[in-house]
Structure 1
Amino acid sequence: MLAEEQSHGHAFLALPVLVGLGAVIWFALPTEPATWPLIGALLACATLGLVLRGHHGWKRHAALAVLFLLAGMLLAACENWRMATVMLDQPVTTMVTGVVEMREPSGKGRWRYVLALEKTEMPTLRRQPGRITVISRGKTVFDIGDRISGRARLSPPSGPALPGLVDFAFNSYFDGVGAIGYFYGTPSLADGTVTVSWGQSMERMFFTWRSAIATRIRDTVPGDAGAFAAAIVTDERRAISSETTEALRVSGLAHIVAISGLNMALAAGIFFVGMRSLLALLPGFAQAFPVKKLAAAAALLMATGYYLISGFGVSAERAYIMMAIMLAAVFFDRPSISLRNVALAALVVLVVSPSEILGPSFQMSFAATVALVAGYSAWSRRREKNGDDPPWRPATLKPVFAVGHLIGGVFVTSLIGGLSTAIFSIDHFHRMSTYGLVANLAAMPLVSFIVMPFGLIGMLLMPFGLDGPFLQIMGFGLQGVIVVAKTIAGWGGDVGIGRQPSGFLPVATAGFLVLTLLRTRLHLLGLPLLALAIFLSWRAGHDPPPDFLVSEDGSLAAFLEGAQVNASRARPPGFIYSQWRHALSLPQPTGPVLLDLPTPGNKETASPPIVASVASNLDAETPGSGSLASSVAQAADPAQKIGAPAAAPPSAGARAGRERLKPEELAQTRQAMQKALLENRSETFVCAARSWCVAKSNDGATVAVVEDARFAGTACDVVQVVIAARARFDRCRSGALMINGEALRRTGALEIRFNGKSDPQDWSFIAAMVGADRSWMRHRQYDWRRNIFDPALPEPLQSLSSGAKP
């Protein structure tokens, strides 16, 4: 069977698997391996492969396998060196000036800009990111290429919401974005000439076209249908309402929004068939010229144009490469739909951007493509063996069977696509849509026969101003898709699976690849691996959850008590808690008990209503903006000097713009904390609004979450663990464990297990970011006062690092 696999050329299918595995190993290592030993080992394996080229034994195969593994590792190292993104190290409020590279609407009255950052002032950042993403509110909309300036709140891209979840800083690093934030008010146009290179000029021209096309589509087709249509054509997705986005996700139709292989294949396929049919109407021309190849060339040009106006997104890039390879196969009279073409497309993507192999988009896209192509190949072989028309089938019933084949094809395609991507949906998103098959069966005919054909015609006629009627028909079809999504989302079916163990994805992926890439009975070896993955998932679902959670910015803490979650905030940050809820299958949280206590007078520089408004908007943002909402309360802190020369830090009260507390106020606060711990039930937070919260676990452990840094010292005298993101000291004189903002910046989110004990020395701590030192994490180690990178944990937390994991 191995010889048969090799005779069919399936050894080539192992190349992207080995290269991708090498990239995964490089990214997963806790520290960056030295490059020169990898190059030396690769040259040695290449030499050994040449020496053994006349042999076909296991030695040569092993040498080649190691060669491609090392090639994948070196490609990952090359991409890391090429990007070298400067990441902001701490949240800061500063004046920014930059040139608009990209823009797209981000909800009502808001625009999201990607700026090439030129300078910062008040304070000037010592480690200034090259590109940032900022949100602006207001009626003024800036064009691509404009230089704008304004006061903005910037934050580093957030890390994992819990240990083992997605690190959004990784994605931002390899996207070249070093900070995210929002403007205070509307920025203004800045003076000066914007000079760009030839390449930048071309790129901005394409982005300008993209923005103009998206605006025209939204103006022609109002509402979510227009925003949906603009997303399919230009990949501008943020204008779609959160309600529709959620319905598409729950129903399993979210893949339609992205410019993926489905959209690119439909667009290129419709254009290819249409062009070939038109040329076939000219008999003389069709006999003199290769009509099929001409149609493939025209479809390739159309796909290239589609890609150029798509914003160069990763999913669009991957879809374009795959489609270009399949159309190019027509030029050489090779089959377009084959696993070799899919493998070649995967190799190209891995060479260009190997970091994408860790993302759900790459994994789900290629999983669906591989499964569909493998299924199509198996069906074709069976059809060749059995013949086209069985003798018992009457010729008069051919139309009936044709319709049946069409319906059956849509059903099988949706089933294979849904099952093949379920593995990666469970691992990355911790949930699965049980009605996804029904939704795709209802929606895909609309997409295939209305949305994409009329959208393609509309785009071709847009330069002549004749696109309106066709775009409206496209919007009508998309409105039908939205109705299907909302109807099926109303049935429920969004099943939470929970966070998976570390071995689930590798084992399940190995089983999937064996099952789909091999054509002999050896492919059945994938079934035991998939069964093992299911067992690992089932076993992890029976593990007890942690007792206590802390977000990476200290804005949220929660006790997990059986089927109940007791949070430190009545309205937890939406993005952070949604990550917790899906990863640990948590219910809606129970808020704290609020005390009716007088709040000492504050000298705020931003009014509470404005802060609350900005926070609520940011909570609804996309992944990566989770750390912003929690930093809003720090937004008006002009005394911050992130990246500035070292200076003596002012007192906590002065830095927060608040008056020092009087001794009697501190004494009253201490009594209130002690009384709250004694009189309220365990694992329920008791809070003084915008000041502090205290709680006690069932095991007797006491915890305080301090928002107003003036109460941090008092909390140290009352509880065993103090979580105070704004505290300016890192240890309590009382011996209590202090977890301040600097500590959380190093550790990331925390999971704590009390282990039935009240002494912190007996607890188990797991930190999201401890245990690894990689380029996309190193900004957490930067100390601007000393202008050095210090990987050491704050001393109070060093004893807990043994329980941490990356």
Structure 2
Amino acid sequence: MREGREQETAWPSQFPGLTPDGPERAAERADARNMPVERRSGTAPGPGSGQLGRSIIAGLRARNWRTVIVRAVDEEQAFGHGFLFLPVFLGAGALFWFSLPQTPGFSELALLICVFGMAAVLLRHSPGLRRSAAIFTFLFVAGMMLAAWETRRADTVMLDSPVTTRIQGRVVARETTDRGHWRYTVVLAETSDPVLKRPPERVTLLSRSREAPIAIGGGVEGRVRLSPPSGAALPGLNDFAFDSYFKGIGAVGYFYGKPKSVASPDSVAHGPMAAWRGKALERIAGWREAIGARIRATIGGDAGAIAAALVTAEERAISRPTVEALREAGLAHVLAISGLNMVLVAGTFLIGARTLLSLVPGLAHRFAIKKLAAVGALVMVFFYILISGGAVSAIRSWIMISIMLVAVLFDRPSISLRNVALSALVILVVTPSAVTGPGFQMSFAATLALVAGYGHWRDRPSRDMLPITMRTRSLTLVGGFFGGLLLSSLIGGLSTMIYSAGHFHRLAAYGLVGNILAMPVISVLVMPFGLLAMLLMPFGLDYYPLLVMGQGLEWMIAIADLVSSWGGEVATGRVPHGAFLLIAAGGVLACLFRTWLALSGILVIVVGLFAGWSGETVRPVLAVAEDGRLVALIDHKAVASNRARPGDFVFSQWQRALRLEAHEKPVTRDDLSLDEPAEVAAALDATGATRRHRPPFDPREARSALKKLVAEASGGRFACVAKQWCAATTRQGWRIVTVEDARLVGAACDQADIVVTPVMLRFFACRSGALLLSGQSLRRTGAVEIYAAPGDGGARPTDKADMRVVQAQEQLQRPWARHRTYDWRSGTFDSTAATE
């Protein structure tokens, strides 16, 4: 690796000032400012800790800070570090575009591109800071343009509201679950009973039937319940509709009964190229499913499901307790096809192929067997990415590993920050939406920190001080393995900590211990024998390698269960956006800079930590799910819900984001249930008539029953009448009523301060002035949080001015939220709602 450092400063680029000018130019700049430059075998100063320490000391002793900063910037440019910031500003532009409340037009972005592009050209011979600022601004706007182009290119039709219909389509992918059910990805050909005016092109459907599944590429028909992809569970949390939009999934749902296998409908792809691409993706999906099924059948249990996930990225077959144990032990990253998996696969193949080729007499003297092995590894990782599902972490790893292997072919340094930057550039150009997700952020944060840490470790001053003997070499190899394992686990855990807290609101307290215990098993048994099994699978000789792989995974699961039993998961709650951005930006600066400017990154991290630590944690008084069925009353860390068994998907996110602990179940008061009018009961008993059109309850009886129910709802707990309504009272004196029967909305509005119902009402407000959150209004606002005014802690008559309502959907003009304004009756979008 040390010989390759001569090459790091010779990187051609079309961006002047962003690439190294070579060691001679660095020396000239240093001499011009009386700055000493260390020369080592004709190379530019390395990134070692000694050089960084001397740079920091020189900066602290200097008096003219302007001169010191200019010198440091020139030195960074001499190293070629300007290139490393290209994906940073490109990704920042894309992230800014996705966070805008409105979608700017292409004409405005094109104008900005032209303006800043011309500025970059005109300032190409200006001093370094001015030139770099122009180029980075141009890249920021280019990132916005790429995000806009991807959004327009996706153009996914999102289902507007839940509906029950009959569908016919083509299965393009399928995946088994831990309960033996099948989840299909279906391209819709037609809908009926009713016919959808805006049918989504692609949907995912769960079949609970345990009979033989429908083949990939086959036709499917059945009655289904479709729903739009859900939004954020709380304001600021992950918006699943955003992810579905860029994945091309317009609806999710399930089959009623067993789906029927029919003749495959004609392809709905537009054009022969799209049809060929669809056929190719179906073929690859078939390979993935067949390989996963073979692995699960051979190994069995959760070990088999994890083994299949390591190869095909299909994780749904893993049981939920095992997944939670891996997360609490800090081993959830093993399930993703990330850099670890790709490095182990490529490294195992490279070393194994090189060893086998060296055994051929005379071959090593006539051919460069290292390059031959690198070519084989390139082919291997290409087939690996084909069957891996195409997750961001897998693509990033594949691009970076491919660049490293190509670098081996040209005798260039393989591990460098430039490879990380190149892989990030490729992903951002093709799919800029990936920058918003935790997969992209955590993957690149860990890789960036590990590569930067490896560079400092590689060039440490004490590296060559020990005499090399057989004994010291053995100790160095063993110590290097375990020391590298400890250091890489520590760096990887620290670098991804802020992203884990920001996106998942929890940390694995003993993640370092879990990784130290499990990684030797994964590195020695799991991935190498998994690779061997894949190579032997076409010949039917994969049985015994899979058994060894399965045994290693059984040990890994046992380690995860042990570590998770210590109860080391830490709930962090929601991280303030400002603190998150500061810590993330500081980590990037600390890793990319080689001079004393790296201290600026440490300083930004410290400021971000202080901002997050000093920020006051304010919990809402009330949380309402976007479907209106789940409502939670929050008092400090205690939570009371209107459901005895709230849905885990939403409620678990509430618990982690708000750091909730004790859950109070509702009190059932069936004695306060309202009886159906006599004529309705008789009609239902006689004919089983529909419940849609029923006469209302007696208003006086309804108000009396609700008054008693509210009186019973004390102590911050809901009192409920099954299938009718629930009531609760907050510390502020707010009376909360959740209504399931639409006939009781009027009575609730008369006596409550806040009324919540999943019913799609035609009106948006109560005549009494009470706050009404119905299925219709929640469809546009998404999940809702209600906060009390500061100092509002006593029970007293409620004023709506004391409530602060925060909604998850702050705007409805973006393509992944616009479907919320669609009216299927008129077939038009409500433009007024989009601007509310």
Q: Please, what TM-score do these two structures have when normalized by structure 1?
A: 0.89
The residue aligned with 2:4 is none
Q: Comparing both chains, which one has the higher relative contact order based on Cα–Cα distances under 8 Å and sequence gaps of 6 or more?
A: 1
Specify which of 19, 28, 36 is matched with residue 99 of structure 2: 28
Output aligned runs, 1:359-758, within 5 Å: 359-382=437-460, 385-391=461-467, 395-540=470-615, 542-597=616-671, 598=673, 600=675, 657=692, 659-663=694-698, 666-730=699-763, 731-755=765-789, 756=792, 758=798
The residue aligned with 2:236 is 164
Q: AA paired with 1:18?
A: F
Q: Residue by residue, what CA displacement relative to the aligned partner does 1:551-586 show, whole Å, maximum 9, x if unpaired?
A: 111111111123321111111111111011000100
The residue aligned with 1:199 is 277
Q: AA paired with 2:424?
A: A
Stretch moving more, 336-345 or 703-712:
703-712
Shift of 1:357: 0.5
Task: For 2:112 and 2:477, locate their aligned partners in 1 and report how far apart those are by CA, in whole Å.
Answer: 56
Q: AA paired with 2:294?
A: R
| Secondary structure in structure 2 of the residue aligned to 1:499 | coil
The residue aligned with 2:86 is 15
RMSD: 2.0
Shift of 1:230: 0.3
Output aligned runs, 1:318-333, within 5 Å: 318-333=396-411
Shift of 1:599: 5.9
Shift of 1:746: 0.6
| Secondary structure in structure 2 of the residue aligned to 1:683 | coil
Q: AA paired with 2:560?
A: A
Q: 1:544–1:192: structure 2 CA closer, same or farther, 3 Å change rule?
A: closer
Q: AA paired with 2:383?
A: G
Stretch moving more, 511-520 or 667-676:
667-676
Q: Is residue 2:821 matched to residue 1:781?
A: yes
Stretch moving more, 274-283 or 367-376:
274-283
Q: Residue by residue, what CA displacement relative to the aligned partner does 1:347-385 show, whole Å, maximum 9, x if unpaired?
A: 001011000011000000011100010011111111xx4
Task: For 2:784 and 2:125, locate their aligned partners in 1 and report how far apart those are by CA, in whole Å.
Answer: 56
Contact 2:235–2:785 at 8 Å: present in 1 too?
yes
The residue aligned with 1:135 is 206
Q: Please, what TM-score do these two structures have when normalized by structure 2?
A: 0.86
Contact 2:311–2:384 at 8 Å: present in 1 too?
yes
Shift of 1:602: 11
Identity among equivalent positions (%) equals: 47
Task: For 1:727 and 1:476, locate their aligned partners in 2 and report how far apart those are by CA, in whole Å.
Answer: 53
The residue aligned with 2:413 is 335
Shift of 1:481: 0.5
Q: 1:59–1:738: structure 2 CA closer, same or farther, 3 Å change rule?
A: same
The residue aligned with 2:26 is none
Shift of 1:109: 2.8
The residue aligned with 1:290 is 368
Q: Residue by residue, what CA displacement relative to the aligned partner does 1:270-299 show, whole Å, maximum 9, x if unpaired?
A: 101111122222352222222222111110
Shift of 1:655: 7.9
The residue aligned with 1:39 is 110
Q: AA paired with 1:40?
A: L
Shift of 1:389: 4.7
Task: Report which of the two structures shows the higher radius of gyration computed on alpha carbons.
Answer: 2
Shift of 1:702: 1.3
| Secondary structure in structure 1 of the residue aligned to 2:459 | helix
The answer for unaligned runs of 5 or more in structure 2 is 1-71, 270-274, 679-687
Shift of 1:600: 4.4
| Secondary structure in structure 2 of the residue aligned to 1:386 | coil
Shift of 1:762: 2.7
Task: For 1:230 and 1:365, locate their aligned partners in 2 and report how far apart those are by CA, in whole Å.
Answer: 21
Output aligned runs, 1:38-187, within 5 Å: 38-138=109-209, 139-187=211-259
| Secondary structure in structure 1 of the residue aligned to 2:220 | strand
Q: 1:600–1:146: structure 2 CA closer, same or farther, 3 Å change rule?
A: farther
Q: AA paired with 2:446?
A: A
Stretch moving more, 752-761 or 105-114:
752-761
Task: For 1:761 and 1:791, locate their aligned partners in 2 and report how far apart those are by CA, in whole Å.
Answer: 28
Q: Residue by residue, what CA displacement relative to the aligned partner does 1:482-516 show, whole Å, maximum 9, x if unpaired?
A: 00001100001100010011212211111001111
Shift of 1:713: 1.7
Q: AA paired with 2:714?
A: R
Task: For 1:249 and 1:282, locate their aligned partners in 2 and report how far apart those are by CA, in whole Å.
Answer: 45
The residue aligned with 2:325 is 247
| Secondary structure in structure 2 of the residue aligned to 1:549 | strand
Q: Is residue 2:225 matched to residue 1:225?
A: no
Task: For 1:53 and 1:737, locate their aligned partners in 2 and report how far apart those are by CA, in whole Å.
Answer: 59
Q: Residue by residue, what CA displacement relative to the aligned partner does 1:54-87 show, whole Å, maximum 9, x if unpaired?
A: 3334332221111111111111011001101111
Task: For 1:531 and 1:387, locate their aligned partners in 2 and report how far apart those are by CA, in whole Å.
Answer: 31
Q: Residue by residue, what CA displacement relative to the aligned partner does 1:650-687 show, whole Å, maximum 9, x if unpaired?
A: xxx99854643442xx4333211101223442532111
When the two structures are aligned, how many residues end up with a matched partner? 741
Contact 2:299–2:546 at 8 Å: present in 1 too?
yes
Task: For 1:736 and 1:9, locate their aligned partners in 2 and report how far apart those are by CA, in whole Å.
Answer: 62
Task: For 2:129 and 2:399, locate their aligned partners in 1 and report how far apart those are by CA, in whole Å.
Answer: 33
Task: For 1:193 and 1:776, locate their aligned partners in 2 and report how far apart those are by CA, in whole Å.
Answer: 28
| Secondary structure in structure 1 of the residue aligned to 2:597 | helix
Task: For 2:397 and 2:531, locate their aligned partners in 1 and report how far apart those are by CA, in whole Å.
Answer: 17
Task: For 2:168 and 2:745, locate their aligned partners in 1 and report how far apart those are by CA, in whole Å.
Answer: 36
Shift of 1:601: 5.9
Q: 1:724–1:792: structure 2 CA closer, same or farther, 3 Å change rule?
A: farther
Stretch moving more, 341-350 or 186-195:
186-195
Task: For 2:691 and 2:786, locate their aligned partners in 1 and report how far apart those are by CA, in whole Å.
Answer: 29
Q: Residue by residue, what CA displacement relative to the aligned partner does 1:731-752 show, whole Å, maximum 9, x if unpaired?
A: 3333333221110011111111
Q: AA paired with 2:643?
A: R
Q: AA paired with 1:303?
A: V
Shift of 1:592: 1.3
Shift of 1:238: 0.3
Task: For 1:355 and 1:325, locate their aligned partners in 2 and report how far apart those are by CA, in whole Å.
Answer: 23
Q: Residue by residue, what CA displacement relative to the aligned partner does 1:149-190 show, whole Å, maximum 9, x if unpaired?
A: 111111111111111111111100011101111111111012
| Secondary structure in structure 2 of the residue aligned to 1:738 | strand
Contact 1:97–1:119 at 8 Å: present in 2 too?
yes
Q: AA paired with 1:685?
A: F
Shift of 1:329: 1.4
The answer for unaligned runs of 5 or more in structure 1 is 604-652, 802-806
Stretch moving more, 677-686 or 128-137:
677-686
Contact 1:75–1:354 at 8 Å: present in 2 too?
yes
Task: For 1:157 and 1:281, locate their aligned partners in 2 and report how far apart those are by CA, in whole Å.
Answer: 56
Q: Residue by residue, what CA displacement relative to the aligned partner does 1:249-275 show, whole Å, maximum 9, x if unpaired?
A: 111100001111110111011101111
Q: 1:387–1:760: structure 2 CA closer, same or farther, 3 Å change rule?
A: closer
Contact 1:107–1:240 at 8 Å: present in 2 too?
yes
Task: For 1:727 and 1:704, locate their aligned partners in 2 and report how far apart those are by CA, in whole Å.
Answer: 16
Q: 1:692–1:320: structure 2 CA closer, same or farther, 3 Å change rule?
A: same
